[in-house]
Amino acid sequence: MIKEIEETTEYLIHKGFDKPEIGIILGTGLGQLINDVEIIHSVSYNHIPYFPTATVEFHKGKLIYGILSGKKVVIMQGRFHLYEGYSLQDVTFPVRIMKRLGISTLLVSNAAGAINLDMKKGEIMLITDHLNLLGDSPLAFKGVSLLGERFADMSEPYDNDLNDQFRSIAKENDITLHEGVYAAMLGPQLETKAEYRMLKIIGSDAVGMSTVPEVIVSNHLGLRVAAVSVITDECDPDNLKPVNIDEIIAMANKAEPQMITLFKSLIEKL
Ligand code: HPA
């Protein structure tokens, strides 16, 4: 993987990705953040060497370099999921590239279902810990120790200082910011009632299909990382309705202004 990392990094430096400080993975509910970015360079994932080959759904994926809140940022517009058939090494390859380009901090967003029913759809949750239920690890490959500690420490996967800053920004802006444990499931099917009950019993507050692989690799690389979920649906096993994707997207859009405030203000303070 080292050769591939070098080659891809060289390609992007040549394209003008000049020492970004912060990486951002834009999930559902944060896409509009891009409107506030002074875009300097934008490269389609299709054109980046060794990036996973785009699926139909994914042809819009882009890596963007620009200025946001006065900072040099590299932004993943669209992410890869295990359920699309990629390996976790593929899913997290862009994180390794962003690190080699120079970032020291990674900020991640996603959409998630509420297991803890104190949280309502349209609200926001700061991820303070996670459950990796993907059945795989992005560090489970030959040669991982050439890139970092194989037995990566996970005692504090989400950075306390970044989390504290998110908390104070939420307070200053009157944003309800829940906190909790995010469980990553493989998907792509949604969960059954029995699975939602299990997720509650084992300590999850929210469930989704992303983020955990990128966070594991960030820790492997010594990056500071923070992640925020938009709660798009309520996963109540005793009153479960069929998932309505349009409603999920509507909920993500509803939370978007608050998400943008959180991310922009944090980047200003970094
Ligand atoms: N499961 C249930 N609800 C969700 C998910 C999920 O993975 N993602 C967003 N809402």
pLDDT surpasses 60 at 58: no
User: pLDDT confidence of 56, banded at 50, 70, 90?
Assistant: low
| H or E element at residue 207 | strand 206-208
Taking alpha carbons only, the member of 133, 119, 110 closest to residue 234 is 119
Q: Tell me what percent of the residues of the chain surpass a pLDDT of 70.
A: 98
pLDDT surpasses 90 at 28: no
Check pocket membership of 210 for ligand 1, CB cut-off 6 A: no
Cβ atoms of 59 and 30 within 8 Å: the answer is no
Residue nearest to atom 9 of ligand 1 (CA): 112
Mean pLDDT of the chain: 95
111-154 residue pLDDT tens = 999 999 999 999 999 999 999 999 999 999 999 999 989 999 99
**What pLDDT, on the 0 to 100 scale, is given for residue 138?**
98
238-261 residue pLDDT tens = 999 898 888 888 989 999 999 999
Check pocket membership of 208 for ligand 1, CB cut-off 6 A: yes
pLDDT surpasses 90 at 10: yes
Length of the chain: 270
Q: Which residue has the higher pLDDT, 54 or 225?
A: 225
The rounded Å distance from CA 190 to ligand 1 centre is 6
pLDDT surpasses 70 at 59: no
pLDDT surpasses 80 at 57: no
Mutate which of 30, 115, 185, 190 for ligand 1 pocket (most atoms within 8 A of beta carbon): 190
Check pocket membership of 185 for ligand 1, CB cut-off 6 A: yes
Check pocket membership of 112 for ligand 1, CB cut-off 6 A: yes
Range 211-215 average pLDDT: 98
Check pocket membership of 206 for ligand 1, CB cut-off 6 A: no
Q: How far apart are CA 120 and CA 229, in angstroms?
A: 12
Domains in the chain with CATH codes: 2-269 (3.40.50.1580)
Check pocket membership of 113 for ligand 1, CB cut-off 6 A: yes
Lowest mean pLDDT among 5-14, 54-63, 94-103: 54-63
Check pocket membership of 159 for ligand 1, CB cut-off 6 A: no
pLDDT surpasses 90 at 21: yes
Task: Pull the structure tokens for residue 203.
Answer: 């300590």
The rounded Å distance from CA 144 to ligand 1 centre is 30
**What pLDDT, on the 0 to 100 scale, is given for residue 54?**
61
User: pLDDT confidence of 60, banded at 50, 70, 90?
Assistant: confident
Dihedral over alpha carbons 40, 211, 91, 252 (to 10 degrees): -60
Q: How far apart are CA 242 and CA 206, in angstroms?
A: 18
Taking alpha carbons only, the member of 84, 111, 79, 103 closest to residue 223 is 103
The rounded Å distance from CA 225 to ligand 1 centre is 22
Half-sphere exposure of residue 14, counting CA atoms within 13 Å on the CB side?
A: 8
pLDDT surpasses 80 at 55: no
Range 222-226 average pLDDT: 98
User: pLDDT confidence of 178, banded at 50, 70, 90?
Assistant: very high
Q: Tell me what percent of the residues of the chain surpass a pLDDT of 90.
A: 88
**What pLDDT, on the 0 to 100 scale, is given for residue 52?**
85
Check pocket membership of 209 for ligand 1, CB cut-off 6 A: yes
Check pocket membership of 190 for ligand 1, CB cut-off 6 A: yes
